Chain A
Amino acid sequence: NAGVTQTPKFQVLKTGQSMTLQCAQDMNHNSMYWYRQDPGMGLRLIYYSASEGTTDKGEVPNGYNVSRLNKREFSLRLESAAPSQTSVYFCASKVAEPEYNEQFFGPGTRLTVL
């Protein structure tokens, strides 16, 4: 099992460019999540998908969109990148129930917006 995989690992964008971060999991998990990690702020939830076919906003959704393509894949799109979106992005997944099941994290995508 590969667990949670993310592509790309690194990306540099110019302001205004768009891109999609890809996430896939092979653990048959129902729920998937996108977080961003910034120094001194821990991880903050951008969007999540409780199950295939559903998506909801998290704490910091502005400037992002998501697609739950199927049970395995959950992508994050930046339509017009801004320097404030420079961050490390993590995808995670878990079995939906019970709520105290752990989330499994991918290795992250380090994004720089110039």
Chain B
Amino acid sequence: AQSVTQPDIHITVSEGASLELRCNYSYGATPYLFWYVQSPGQGLQLLLKYFSGDTLVQGIKGFEAEFKRSQSSFNLRKPSVHWSDAAEYFCAVAKRGGKLIFGQGTELSVKP
């Protein structure tokens, strides 16, 4: 069965430090992968997606993610975190018909 795992429930980083959020997926076919961000009390906003081609994907707000088929991973990175990046981050894979399977989410806190 398809699944998405985000191993880190909560991460705290200092402002200006680099960030990497982990995502592992289980899916038989070529996956369509997404990262969404949810600010407190808000809906989800797409950061980036991978569907084919270059395995390093650029997104909004300075985020990028790298698809590694051999490791079944799609980790999200940002070189320098800003206080406004504090939010919850969700990795997801699309099933047939476009239905999304989400990971459990990683809550990011940013220390001043």
Contact = CB atoms under 8 A, between A and B. Distances in A.
Interface of A: 4, 31, 33, 40-45, 48, 50, 58, 90, 92, 94, 96, 98-103, 105-108
Contacts, number: 62
A105 B102 contact: no
B90 A102 contact: no
Contacts of A108: 41-43
Nearest to A98: B51
Contacts of B96: 99
B100 interface: yes
Interface residues of B, number: 26
B99 A48 contact: yes
Contacts of B101: 45
Contact of A105 (B43, B98, B99): B43
Given A41-B104, A42-B102, A50 B97 contact: yes
Contacts of B104: 40-42
B98 A31 contact: yes
Contacts of A96: 98
Nearest to A48: B99
Residue of B4, B32, B44 ringed by the most chain A CB atoms within 10 A? B44
Given A40-B9, A50-B97, A90 B102 contact: no
B34 interface: yes
B43 to A, nearest CB: 4
Contacts of B4: 42
A103 B42 contact: no
Contacts of A100: 32, 49, 51, 94, 98
Contacts of A99: 32, 94, 96-98
A102 B105 contact: no
B98 A43 contact: no
B56 interface: no
Interface string B20-51: 00000000000010101000011111100101
